[in-house]
């Protein structure tokens, strides 16, 4: 399907790895001019060289970086048609162990970053006659995780769902659609590394991590359960960003073909309990 994205200007935060990278790659393949933003220069450079996008080093929790990113998009491209607020993260932690720093960071990297960057990009969309904002949330926004431990992340992700719905109504007169994508468990190297660090309390070597994943996948996932791939989420994002989804706005789309895949996180913690 031709998504009609040729010549559009798209900004993807967290576009150097995982779901953001797959999204940036697909939008670029569809002919969009894509700006990606993330922190680590090494991965930005690799992404820029391999998929032909414009990298900007930026931390979405820093206001000055968001200002610089929005100014870059305005100066170089005259503004954006598509904004994919994808950078974000989830932390599993029992409620009584959540620190104030965790709480503030959870809101800052998830909800605040989406709100703040959208405020900085939307004026150029209005000038250009319209656009699309895609906010990437997560399953913990709408479902309790197992093992429970998402009291910090879940509400930050839920705020993104509400933000998207309210913003969609407010921006309708400007021909701007807002869609929230809510992924289930998606296999990205950085995300799984983080879960494994949290469960084991240390960094796993690449080979060790791969063995753990294979073992838990074979032994613990219910029959038929699968992790999603970044590309499967990117397909839904790109479709939602295109005119093919012109009658879609304000809604959250749960892209979670296999809720049983959460057993992986549970299994990680069970392994740890056995070892301790």
Ligand X SMILES: NC(=O)c1ccc[n+]([C@@H]2O[C@H](COP(=O)([O-])OP(=O)(O)OC[C@H]3O[C@@H](n4cnc5c(N)ncnc54)[C@H](OP(=O)(O)O)[C@@H]3O)[C@@H](O)[C@H]2O)c1
| Residues at the site binding ligand X, with contacts judged by CB under 6 A | 13-14, 16-20, 37-40, 43, 58-61, 86-90, 109, 136, 138-139, 183, 185-186, 188, 190-191, 230
Q: State which residue, 128 or 132, has the beta carbon closest to ligand X.
A: 132
Task: Supply the minimum distance, in Å, between the C-beta of residue 36 and ligand X.
Answer: 8
Task: Supply the minimum distance, in Å, between the C-beta of residue 66 and ligand X.
Answer: 9
Task: Supply the minimum distance, in Å, between the C-beta of residue 242 and ligand X.
Answer: 20
**Residue 235, CA distances (Å) to 19, 22, 227 in order:** 10, 9, 15
Task: Supply the minimum distance, in Å, between the C-beta of residue 262 and ligand X.
Answer: 10
Q: State which residue, 128 or 135, has the beta carbon closest to ligand X.
A: 135
- 156, 114 Cβ separation under 8 angstroms: no
Q: State which residue, 24 or 128, has the beta carbon closest to ligand X.
A: 24
Q: State which residue, 79 or 90, has the beta carbon closest to ligand X.
A: 90
Task: Supply the minimum distance, in Å, between the C-beta of residue 143 and ligand X.
Answer: 11
Strand partners, 271: none
* Helix axes 18-29 and 230-241, enclosed angle (nearest 10): 50
Q: State which residue, 141 or 176, has the beta carbon closest to ligand X.
A: 141
- 181, 233 Cβ separation under 8 angstroms: yes
State how far the Cα of 40 lies from the Cα of 17, in Å rounded to an integer: 10
State how far the Cα of 206 lies from the Cα of 69, in Å rounded to an integer: 33
Task: Supply the minimum distance, in Å, between the C-beta of residue 18 and ligand X.
Answer: 2
State how far the Cα of 224 lies from the Cα of 246, in Å rounded to an integer: 34
Task: Supply the minimum distance, in Å, between the C-beta of residue 264 and ligand X.
Answer: 10
CA angle (37 as vertex; 133, 189 as ends), nearest 5: 100
Q: State which residue, 32 or 145, has the beta carbon closest to ligand X.
A: 145
- 199, 269 Cβ separation under 8 angstroms: yes
Tokens 């989406």 — which residue? Answer: 114
Q: State which residue, 8 or 17, has the beta carbon closest to ligand X.
A: 17
Contacts of 185 (CB under 8 A, 6+ apart): 139, 227, 228, 256, 258, 261, 262, 264, 265
State how far the Cα of 190 lies from the Cα of 76, in Å rounded to an integer: 30
């Amino acid at each position: 399907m031709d998504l009609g994205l040729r010549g559009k200007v798209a900004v993807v935060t967290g576009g150097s790895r995982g779901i953001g990278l797959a999204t940036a790659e697909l939008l670029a393949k569809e002919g969009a001019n894509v700006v990606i933003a993330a922190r680590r220069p090494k991965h930005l450079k690799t992404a820029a060289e391999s998929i032909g996008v414009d990298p900007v080093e930026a931390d979405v929790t820093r206001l000055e970086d968001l200002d610089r990113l929005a100014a870059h998009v305005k100066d170089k491209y005259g503004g954006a048609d598509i904004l994919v607020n994808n950078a974000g993260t989830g932390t599993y932690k029992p409620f009584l162990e959540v620190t104030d720093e965790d709480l503030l960071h959870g809101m800052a990297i998830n909800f605040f970053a989406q709100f703040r960057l959208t405020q900085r990009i939307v004026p150029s969309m209005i000038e250009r006659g319209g656009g699309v904002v895609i906010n990437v949330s997560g399953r913990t926004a709408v479902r309790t995780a197992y093992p429970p431990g998402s009291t910090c992340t879940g509400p930050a992700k839920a705020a993104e769902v509400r933000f998207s719905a309210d913003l969609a109504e407010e921006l309708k007169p400007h021909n701007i659609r807002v869609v929230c994508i809510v992924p289930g468990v998606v296999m990205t190297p950085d995300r799984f590394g983080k879960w494994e660090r949290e469960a084991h309390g240390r960094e796993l070597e690449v080979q060790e991590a791969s063995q753990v994943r294979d073992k838990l996948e074979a032994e613990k996932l219910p029959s038929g359960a699968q992790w999603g791939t970044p590309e499967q989420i990117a397909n839904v994002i790109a479709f939602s960003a295109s005119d093919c989804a012109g009658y879609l706005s304000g809604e959250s789309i749960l892209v979670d073909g296999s809720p049983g895949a959460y057993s992986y996180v549970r299994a990680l913690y069970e392994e740890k309990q056995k070892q301790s």
